[in-house]
Structure 1
Amino acid sequence: MSAIDLSRAALIVIDLQPDFMPGGALACHEGDAIVPGIDALLRARRFGHVVATQDWHPAGHVSFANSHAGRAPFESITLYEQPQTLWPEHCVQHTPGAALHAGVDWSSVDAVIRKGSDPRVDSYSAFRENHGPAGTRPPTGLAGWLRERDVDEVYLCGLARDVCVLWSAQDAARLGFRTHVLWELCRPVTPAGDAPTRAAMQRDGIMLADAATLST
């Protein structure tokens, strides 16, 4: 079987950062289990382009529970007429927990998209911020960057499968990219998120892919 042509495809590695690892400020279930596989995928250099995203919050970000008196992590509030989960303080700019994971060789990465840097607005997706005070979701610039390089297909992996990976995949599909999620190279905040995440991806035409098939 001939190798899959990935010359017009981009691999997007979502938020592989220490704060999302076990023991981190906002630990994802088994988040560290995907690090070796993602490292191997980047070292294989199969993709035409590789992008990494990085949660990059200022202190006192609106999504932090400690920015809201009397609120606890994982509570939900209404923000700009949209539901907003309040998170533990995490991925604060220039802290060790916000760095790209040291267990991955990032030398093949063409671009790093830092998101969540506006203190007023959360940002899950690699492509667009969450709804802000103007009621819109401003673009990060990633879609234009990919189109300028004739990318028409994206593969996503990373953290968290039920939040930032899901939102990124949904936006990619809505923007017209053929969209795949490398399911086994993602992990959720909690396993309870997996069933609704699968259902949402199926509904939105997002394909699940196995990283092992990319080398055959």
Structure 2
Amino acid sequence: MKTLLIVDVQNDFCTGGVLAAKGGEEVVPVINSIVDKFDLIIASKDWHPKQTKHFNKWPPHCVQHTYGAAFHTNLNIDKIDQIFFKGTGTLDDGYSAFEATNVNMYEYLSKQEVSQLYVSGIATDYCVLSSALDSVQAGYTTYVITDAVRAVNVNPDDGDKALQQMKDAGCILITSENI
């Protein structure tokens, strides 16, 4: 089953958000344009409590039940079959969608007989990277849709380095037009 994973396309990671990836909202129309190409659509959300050790590294973002934690307003969420909440505890970072606490993603994907996972979202250099690497490690044919991801880029080339790291790990880099 060909599956699209939408990683953390949330208000706090888009323009105006407290931890905005440059051009984060630009992934929204790309993702919206490809959803019909997939058998299954899943998404992850950063879902942090108000107090977490994660905020020692990052400004408070995607706090549970806030506007910043909501999916970007223009993202078509009607076709999302399952949402995975991550970073929900006070001690976990929750970078990978596979670290979800509400639903075991490994079990869910197995039950759905997923074989191919296409990864999109924010941030290329953190949550997309971690999710894609975990996907490869779990044995899925993993594609990263390069025009549907954006990086935080703490350092200017972090996004490019993350794409190379994913490719080196076995991910297939692809653009939305080639799906």
- TM interval, shorter chain, is over 0.9
Q: Residue 125 of structure 2 is aligned with which of 140, 143, 162? A: 162
Q: Please say if 1:20 is aligned against 2:9.
A: no
Q: Residue 210 of structure 1 is aligned with which of 156, 175, 178? A: 175
Q: Residue 49 of structure 1 is aligned with which of 17, 40, 44? A: 40
CA distance in 2, matches of 1:180, 1:167: 13
Match of 2:62 in 1: 91
CA distance in 2, matches of 1:183, 1:26: 20
Deviation of 1:53 (Å): 0.5
CA distance in 2, matches of 1:194, 1:160: 8
- The unaligned stretches of length 5 or more in structure 2 are none
Which has the larger Rg?
1
Q: Deviations over 1:10-45 (max 9, x none)?
A: 100000000001221111121111111112222xx2
Match of 1:193 in 2: 158
Q: Residue 107 of structure 1 is aligned with which of 68, 71, 78? A: 78
CA distance in 2, matches of 1:117, 1:194: 25
Q: Residue 11 of structure 1 is aligned with which of 4, 8, 21? A: 4
Change (3 A) 1:139 1:52: closer
Deviation of 1:148 (Å): 0.6
The amino acid across from 1:205 in the alignment is G
- SS of the residue 1:91 aligns to: coil
- SS of the residue 2:98 aligns to: coil
Structure number having the greater helix percentage: 2
Greater shift in the superposed pair: 165-174 or 182-191: 182-191
CA distance in 2, matches of 1:47, 1:176: 19
Across the aligned residues of Structure 1 and Structure 2, the Cα RMSD in angstroms comes to 1.5
Deviation of 1:143 (Å): 1.5
Q: Deviations over 1:33-65 (max 9, x none)?
A: 1111112222xx221110010110000111103
CA contact (8 A) 1:128 1:140 kept: no
The amino acid across from 1:158 in the alignment is G
Q: Deviations over 1:84-129 (max 9, x none)?
A: xx00100000000100111011111100001111111110001136
Greater shift in the superposed pair: 196-205 or 114-123: 196-205
Q: Please say if 1:144 is aligned against 2:139.
A: no
Q: Residue 87 of structure 2 is aligned with which of 116, 122, 131? A: 116
CA distance in 1, matches of 2:64, 2:22: 23
Runs of 4+ in structure 1 deviating by more than 2 angstroms, as ranges, are: none
CA distance in 2, matches of 1:20, 1:194: 14
TM-score (structure 1 length as normaliser): 0.78
Report the count of equivalent residues: 177
- The unaligned stretches of length 5 or more in structure 1 are 1-7, 66-85, 130-137
